[in-house]
Amino acid sequence: MTEYSQEVVQRFHGTPEQVAAGRIEEPPARWQSNVIEDYDPAWPDRFAVAASSMKAALGDLIIDIEHVGSTSVPGLAAKPIIDIDLLLDDTTDESRYVPVLEGIGYRLLLREPWWHGHRMLVHPVGDANLHVWPQAAPEPTRHRLFRDWLRAHPQDRDLYAATKRRLARDTADRAGDYSLAKNDVIDQILARIFATTEERRRPGPD
């Protein structure tokens, strides 16, 4: 049974000020509202197309590429924006990957070295968020754990969906607060994930 490091277990919360400081360009217009839609079976296909173009462009630079976020969970309501985790050996030297990704239509939006070296690029029409991480970053591990848990636990999937719909309504006049407002429910679900992992690791009675 996998034992996760404290970096993985203890989730880091950025502040609105940190996010604003890392912004390089204005966000897409779609970020001005948070529209939660019913699950669309076409979302995995959209990820597959995007991943294929990245693999063709970056080749061996890619360590891993994953479909994460709500659109990666069958049956989960979500904003219709594909979240992609792209792992490279390092993100510090942007000249190795940013121009290539710009060549296939993405633009660099966020530079967040304080958040495990995270860079975020977006598709011009705003329908894909590309998160670029160094290989050792803990956040992609949490993303995969969260995704796989929601795929296997419909009760938490439905809790998350209901919470997102409520928060989208509650933050309708301040859409930028939506992502941070989800932290409480995300942390609750992650706590269950890690508690279950710890329980399974404990040796049974002789």
Structure tokens given for 156 = 């938490």
Q: Confirm whether 3 is domain-assigned.
A: no
Q: Confirm whether 49 is domain-assigned.
A: yes
Phi, psi of 172 (to 5 degrees): -60, -30
d(CA 64, CA 48): 13
Q: Confirm whether 1 is domain-assigned.
A: no
Residue 1 has pLDDT above 70, yes or no: no
- Looking at the 3D structure of the chain, how many domains does it have? 1
Which of residues 199 and 77 earns the better pLDDT score? 77
Please check whether residue 124 is in contact with residue 107, taking contact to mean a CB–CB distance below 8 angstroms.
yes
Domain CATH code at residue 174: 3.30.460.10
Q: Confirm whether 139 is domain-assigned.
A: yes
Supply the range of the domain harboring residue 39. Answer: 13-200
Cα 10 to chain center, whole Å? Answer: 16
Which of residues 126 and 113 earns the better pLDDT score? 113
Q: Confirm whether 7 is domain-assigned.
A: no
pLDDT in tens, 67-97: 999 999 999 999 999 999 999 999 999 999 9
Which of residues 177 and 137 earns the better pLDDT score? 137
Block residue for tokens 């419909």: 154
Q: Confirm whether 205 is domain-assigned.
A: no
Strand partners, 88: 134
Query: Residue 112 carries which DSSP code?
Result: E
Averaged pLDDT of the chain: 90
Q: Confirm whether 206 is domain-assigned.
A: no
Q: Confirm whether 8 is domain-assigned.
A: no
Query: Residue 193 carries which DSSP code?
Result: H
Average pLDDT over residues 13-25: 81
Residue 115 has pLDDT above 70, yes or no: yes
CB contact set of 149 (below 8 Å; sequence gap of 6+)? 156, 189, 192, 193
